[in-house]
Structures are given as structure tokens and as C-alpha cells.
Amino acid sequence: MSRLSHLDELEAEAIYIIREVAAECEKPVMLYSIGKDSSVMLRLAMKAFYPEKPPFPFLHVNTTWKFKEMIEFRDKTAKELGIEMLEYINEEGVNNGINPFDHGSSYTDIMKTQALKQALNKYGFTAAFGGGRRDEEKSRAKERIFSFRNASHAWDPKNQRPEMWKLYNTEINKGESIRVFPISNWTETDIWQYIKQEEIPIVPLYFAAERPVVERDGNLIMVDDDRMRLEPGEIPQLKPVRFRTLGCYPLSGGVLSQASTLDEIIEETLSSVESERTSRVIDKDGGGASMEKRKREGYF
Amino acid sequence: MSGLLKFITCGSVDDGKSTLIGHILYDSKLLYADQEKALLLDSKVGSRGGEIDYSLLLDGLMAEREQGITIDVAYRYFTTERRSFIVADTPGHEEYTRNMAVGASFANLAVILVDAKQGVLVQTRRHSRICALMGIHHFVFAVNKMDLADYKEERFNEIKKEILTLSEELSLKNIKIIPVSATEGDNVTKRSDRMDWYQDETLMEHLETVDITESENLDDFYLPVQRVCRPNHEFRGFQGQIESGKVKTGQKLYSLPGSESARVERILVGDKEVSEASYGQAVTIQLDREVDVSRGCVLTDNESLPIGKNIKASLLWMDDEPLSAAKNYLIKLGTKRLPAIIKKIEYKVDVNTGEHIKTDRGVKNEILFCEIECSENIVADLFKNHKTLGELILIDRLSHMTSACGVVEHVEGQRKKPYFEKDSIWAEGYIFEEFYFNLEHAFLSKPNSADTTYHVGDAVPIKGDSFHYPEYFDIIDVERSAAILIRGAFIKDIISLTEYEYSGLPVLDERGFALLVTSEKDVDRFFKEYKLLEKDNKVAFVNRWSRFETYRSVVCNDNYWMI
């Protein structure tokens, strides 16, 4: 009996989950953040339904502070694959001038968490796929694959529904919804190896290149456009950097790297001594439990 | 590399589960620098007086850290040079038993911790029982806190005895007992020099090398249909994951619970066309003609998979609301979801003693044996035969809570009535049926089977026109994993093969053929060969191990119309 490889097993599990949602949930959507995990999710969705197109739209919650290259990549990908890509921006936040420089953690809340909730309510989605992985963070490590949210999108970590074998319970009341994490059991290394195996296109920011950056609180922040506020004395310098995770450019710390091919990235990931979330500036607000707090409030 | 190992840690509160896993991650240098820094910082304010508190690596929820306990399963991922692991660290409190069961349903192996000071506790027994119920076949008992028992061999041996008694009670196979100290690290990843008397593997050595390849019946192909893929009028494909066996283009498949069949026209694995796919793969199958297939149907090459409305199952009740018989639930089994009622609670199982206790209600964390009636026919099978067709959950239709999970132990209204049956154990066969040689057409044939089911205590016909059996012998139905003990031409017992011991009496198969076994060793070899059997060489296997002519003879008959 030939056993599936580790990656094939993870792929089959994810496809099974994606198909279950399409079959049982009334109005699903796949969240698309343009990052590497989203790229893997998108590929899995394309494979799960082939020759049909995924029977649900994709949703990008745009904070308006994403890297330019990310937005270009998003639009190109959606066009090439012929999928429905929705974009949602919290216009009220934009009108109030909410930005990552002045508003710290309330920026994340308003432009990401609140925006996501508004988008889900606007379209009435009952299930939303996310690319969360359990190896990312301690409270994620505790979350079910099908993670139930009440009508105000809150997660109750102390009272999660049991999830047995692959018999997923998708029953909800009106107003409630489910977050679904098909790649819960993947690690960062699995993601990179799958990207390589499947030749999945990803945003070029993941590969090392000379980029204009400033060093701030130990993070290398890229100056992606002229909205970047420079502190007195800060002068952008060209440095060979790449990004392990992508988000809003003022909040994404790059790492010095020469890794310009997938093999080099995998090599770097395997020997890395820091977990990928250290480069995400937002995680450090509020101590070790900040992710759980945000999730309880409706963040992914 | 021995492949991926999914395991859980369980046991009673404070037996040190999270600490053990934390220590493995720490020792194996599997922490990122920032995680290690956070651990050292957190430990300073923790309950171990500044010593590293390894459990903080696992208990990630705020409430858990506040209370110093584990509430829900945490999954951790790590890789050593020899193997990749996913470990589910589960809570020890009785209150959170259902979260422990979530972990158990996911794992191939259970590491059950036993406190060296306290020995086997009720919670140890409950967890072992649930692990066995959920289908785990490999067990490691880690006798922990040996440091607090002065690393004494006598204490270890006392507990070892208790564990062996427990594992016998639960018929656990593949068990390993290791003395460890999770806080100090003895025999976790490094051999302890404080326990010279233990020379066997450390916990980590065992986990890295244990063989978990399942020898379950992978013969027949089956796929519960998840969805029908219909991008346009030309294409209609059935999507799902292959739960056992292989499928090839051209192969004939049945769509159950209907009776239609068709041949496989095309197979897609993801977006690639293939000519053959096997166990574990997510596929899309196109058939060569229109048949009635929808979500919840099962595509299979085994026409005789059981179909019925009434099933009996062992349930783990997980809802705060008690179980009430006659209440309407939703059952989910395979990819089928439909209304069902619990008709009757036959008994509950005492988690401590295993005793069956009559009851008419069930509460949270109890194991109950129940009769369930579905609103329509479904394809279901015993958990031990076809795992995915034997797993179920019950959903409360009002609260939407997953109220119970369970495993199927009996399906009523199976297409074929079993030939032998005792409770959930049954066997097929036609050992007491005649064979005649048809003179007209020159072939050996068996008239249609009588519609009989034999039970314990029944007399059996040991002599017929074309067979003559001894009065004392054993029948082995290796496919159904059952043995029937015939004593003085009566059925003395029908038992599971796992309990069968060679008695020295003649052994026959369910067809009435003599099996060529004359010792316990032969029997073991026979079982082993069967487990390794591929579909294609079944005939060779039967020819090698059995003889038609020992107890049967060829009798001629010209009455060909009765054949």
C-alpha cells in the first residue's frame, strides 16, 4: 500500500474541507490576503472543484496601506484565473484618516477587524475560509478547523464545538457564521514546499531584492510610497531584504536576506531561529495573548 | 523517515501532559528563539519559582494560563531527523473530556501519562477507554514523576501491573510502558542515568520508530460523495476522498444505497487526469453513464456494503444537555446528514470497571450503547470494517451543538443477513450448505443459501449429503474477523478473532474448507499473511491455506434446476 506523501496528505485534507463547506454552507467566501498562505489556499480551491471554478467569491479586506506590488498581484491573479474577487474598504475609517502611524492597535481594529465584520455582514456570508495555521501562534494552536462565531463575530475559546474525525458540524442560526481553516495543520515549511511543488506564483516581495528601507525599533520597514512618515534623521537606504509575511507596509518588518529563489527561501526558513510572526509588528501589542483578544473580537 | 505520526497526550489532571510535550520541544531544539525567550520570561512569574515551566508552551489561552490548567486541545508541529510529528495535547479535567476526545479522534497513537505517586486513576481509565473507542491502536503509558518516587523500580513495577490489567480489560494492543520524569527530562529524549534498571527505549526513541502502518482491510474501494461537479452540460463528476482501496478507469462501481452501477470513465486527482487513484486521495470521478448519484451516496466496488436505517452505536455523550431517547437529532455519517432519533439506550459503560449498566438517560462524558433510527436508508458499516462508514456525530437540532460522537457496532437490515451472529460480532459463510456436481453442465455449485442465522447455543448440522465435519472444531472467518467455536455439534461461542486462541481442534474456514493450521504459530502466520494480502492474490492465498476435500466431497446431482 503506497502511502501519500506528507504534502499530498495535507493537500487532500484541505480539499476535503473546502468541498465540505461548498456542499453544506449556504453562502461561503474565501478570504484572500494576497500572502503566501492565501496563494496556497487559492490553488487548493482551484484544484478542489476542477473543472468547475470555485463556487464562491474571494474577498480582500483592503486597509489601503498594502504594498503596491500586492494589489497589482491580486488584480492580475483574479483576472488570469477568472475568479470573482471582491474588495472591501472601511470607508468610514478612511474618511476619519485612520492610519498605522497615529492609531496603533486601533488602526488594526478599525481597518482590519471592523472592516472584515462589515464586509461579512454586507454580503451575508455564512462561512469564511481563512488561511490561519496552528503553528503560527498559541491561541491559533487551540482553534478548531471549523471555528464558530456568534452574531457579533466573536470567538468563544472556552466553549468550542467538539470536532471529531472529519465530521464537521456546519449548522448555524441566522446571523451566526463559521470561520474555516483548511490549512490548520500546515507549517510554514509545508507552505513553502507546496508552493515549490505546485509552482504557485507569489508576490515578488517574498524574494530578496534591493529595497528602500528604514530601520525602526529593530524592524526594517519598506518605504513603499510617499505616505510613509519618516522620523527626523531617517533616510531610506537600499538594502537586500525580503518579507516572511506580508501585510500593511508600515507594519511589515523585512529581513536582510540574499534568498532570491524558492530553494533559498526554504533553506532559510528551515534554519531560521525566529518564528515568522516576530516580523509582524502588530502582534507585540498587548503581550502574549494579543492574538486571542483580537480573535475574540472578531479578527481572523 | 517513518512518515507522519499524529499522537495525543492524555491522562488525569496534573499528570504532566503539557510539561512533557513542552520538554520534548525544548530538548529537541524545536523552539524558535523568540518563543524560547517568551517561555523564560513567562516562567519567571509562574508557579515553578523561576524554574522553566514547560507547560506554558502549550497552554495558549488566557483562561488556561490564569488557572494553570489545559482546557482545550493544542496542536503542535515538529520534525526531527527521523520523523514529522503532530501532537495534540489534551485536557485532563473530566469537565473537558470531550476536548480530549477531539484529540483522540485525530491521533494514531496515544501517550497516556500516569502519575507515579498516584498510579492508575479513574481518569486514566476513562481516557484509555475513549482512545480505544475512537480507534487508536497504539498506546504508550508514560509513568511520570519518577523523580518524586525516588526513581524506584519497585514503584514502577507496581504501576506497570495496574497498567497491564487495564490494557487487558480494554484489549489494547501495541502497548509500551516507560518510566519518565517530564520536569527533569528522564527518559523523555535522553536516557536517564537515575534509572539504570530501565534499559529499553526512551519515549522519543519509541515515537520516532514505532510502526503505525494500519493493516486494516484496504481491499475494497469506497468513496463517500461530497459533491457533484457540474460546470456545464458535458461534464458530471463526483467529488470525494478515497477511504480505502484503489480505483481504475474501466472499473465497475456501484452507487449505494441505490443499486445502479456504471464504469469509471475518467479520474481526476485535483486538476490532473490519472488512470488509477488510491486510498487518501481527493478525486473527481466521471462515470460512463447517467446514474443516480448525489451527496451522501457511496461509490464502491463492493456491492454488499451494509445498508440500513437502524444502527447500534457506542456514543460518547458530549453535550451539557442530557441525552433523551426519542428526541430528534441530525446524524452525520460519511458525507450523509439526515434526521435520526435515539430509539433506545441499551446501557452505559462504567468508565472505571467497564461494567454495562442499564439506564434510560445519558449525561455528559458518559459512554452509551444506543439504538439509532435514521429517517432513511444509509450506507453504514462497523467502525472496525470500514472506518469512515462507522464514524458518526449527532447534532442537536435546536442548539446545533455536536451532542455526541460514536462508532457503529451493528447495522440492522444489512443486505445479507449474517450467517453467524452474537451481539456486534458476526460472520459470513455457507459451511453447512451442500455443494453438488451438476452432471448436465459439468460444474460444482451450491444451491441458494438458506436464509438462516446461527446464534450461540444453536445446534448445527455437522453431516450433510456432501460434507461431514467433526463434532468439535473451530470456524475462522478471517475477513469478518470472527471465530465460531463448535463443541459437541452446538455453537459454544462466537468471538472476535482478537480473542481467539488456537485450541488444538480442527480449524475450518467459513466455507467449510479445512484450514492448514496445526499450531498456534500456523494460526499467527495465517493471520499475518491475510493482513498483507493484496486483492489480486486472494486466490493463491486460499489455495495455499485451505482444502475443500478434507471435510467436503463431490456429490453428483442431475437435478440442475434446483442449482
Average pLDDT of the residues of chain B: 86
Give pLDDT tens digits for B424-444: 788 888 899 888 887 776 778
Contact residues, chain B, for A171 at CB < 8 Å = 330, 395, 400
Give pLDDT tens digits for B24-76: 877 765 555 555 555 555 555 444 555 666 666 655 556 666 666 667 788 88
DSSP string for residues in chain A: -PPPPHHHHHHHHHHHHHHHHHHH-SSEEEE--SSHHHHHHHHHHHHHHTTSPPSS-EEEE--S-B-HHHHHHHHHHHHHHT--EEEE--HHHHHTT--TTTSHHHHHIIIIIIHHHHHHHHHT-SEEE----TTS-TTGGG--SEEEE-TT----GGGPPP-BTTB------TT-EEEE-TTTT--HHHHHHHHHHHT----GGGS-EEEEEEEETTEEEE--STTPPPPTT---EEEEEE-SS-SBGGGBEEEE----SHHHHHHHHHT-SS-GGGGBGGGGTTGGGHHHHHHHTT--
Q: pLDDT-based confidence at A194, cuts 50/70/90?
A: very high
What would the grid cell of residue B262 be? 456504471
Lowest mean pLDDT segment, chosen from A126-135, A140-149, B207-216, B280-289: B207-216
Contact residues, chain A, for B318 at CB < 8 Å = 162
Contact residues, chain A, for B229 at CB < 8 Å = 49, 51-52
For residues B173 and B451, the model is more confident at B173
What would the grid cell of residue B29 be? 531544539
> DSSP assignment, residue B365?
T
B308-411 placed in CATH 2.40.30.10: yes
Q: What is the pLDDT of residue B41?
A: 53
Q: What is the pLDDT of residue A285?
A: 43
What would the grid cell of residue A152 be? 457579533
**Where along chain B do its domains lie?**
4-209, 222-300, 308-411, 420-555
Q: Is there a contact between A171 and B295 if contact means CB atoms under 8 Å apart?
A: no
pLDDT surpassing 80 at residue A290 = no
Q: What is the pLDDT of residue A282?
A: 46
> Between β-strands B546-547 and B514-515, what pairing exists: parallel, antiparallel or unpaired?
antiparallel
- List the single residue in B99, B270, B335 with the smallest CB-CB distance to A50: B270
Q: Do domains B4-209 and B308-411 have the same CATH topology?
A: no
Provide mean pLDDT across the span B525-531.
88
Q: What is the pLDDT of residue B562?
A: 45
Contact residues, chain A, for B330 at CB < 8 Å = 171
Q: Is there a contact between B35 and A275 if contact means CB atoms under 8 Å apart?
A: yes
Lowest mean pLDDT segment, chosen from A139-148, B59-68, B193-202, B276-285: B59-68
Give pLDDT tens digits for B209-254: 998 876 544 678 999 999 999 998 889 999 999 998 899 999 999 9
Provide mean pLDDT across the span B399-414.
87
For residues B59 and B120, the model is more confident at B120
Compute the radius of gyration of chain A from its Cα atoms.
19
Give pLDDT tens digits for A162-179: 999 999 999 998 888 999
Provide mean pLDDT across the span B537-544.
86
Q: Is there a contact between A275 and B101 if contact means CB atoms under 8 Å apart?
A: no
For residues B151 and B385, the model is more confident at B151
Residue of A nearest to B107 (CA): A165
Q: Which residues, including other chains, have CB under 8 Å from residue B395's CB and lie 6 or more apart?
A: A169, A171, B329, B330, B331, B332, B401, B402, B403
Q: What is the pLDDT of residue B382?
A: 86
B222-300 placed in CATH 3.30.70.1450: no
Secondary structure of residue B418 in the 3-state scheme: coil
Q: What is the pLDDT of residue A269?
A: 75
C-alpha closest to that of A31 among A177, A170, A159 = A177
B4-209 placed in CATH 3.20.20.140: no
Q: pLDDT-based confidence at B504, cuts 50/70/90?
A: very high
Q: What is the pLDDT of residue B46?
A: 47
Contact residues, chain A, for B400 at CB < 8 Å = 169, 171-173
Provide mean pLDDT across the span B300-325.
89
Q: What is the pLDDT of residue A284?
A: 43
Does residue A169 sit at the B interface (CB-CB below 8 Å)? yes
For residues B34 and B118, the model is more confident at B118
> DSSP assignment, residue B398?
T
Q: Is there a contact between A162 and B395 if contact means CB atoms under 8 Å apart?
A: no
**Where along chain A do its domains lie?**
6-190+289-296, 200-284
Give pLDDT tens digits for B459-475: 999 999 899 999 999 99
Does residue B4 sit at the A interface (CB-CB below 8 Å)? yes
* Buried b or exposed e, range B131-146, using 16+ CB within 10 angstroms: bbbbbbbbbbbbbbbb
Q: What is the pLDDT of residue B258?
A: 81
Residue of B nearest to A165 (CA): B105
CATH of domain A6-190+289-296: 3.40.50.620
For residues B485 and B34, the model is more confident at B485
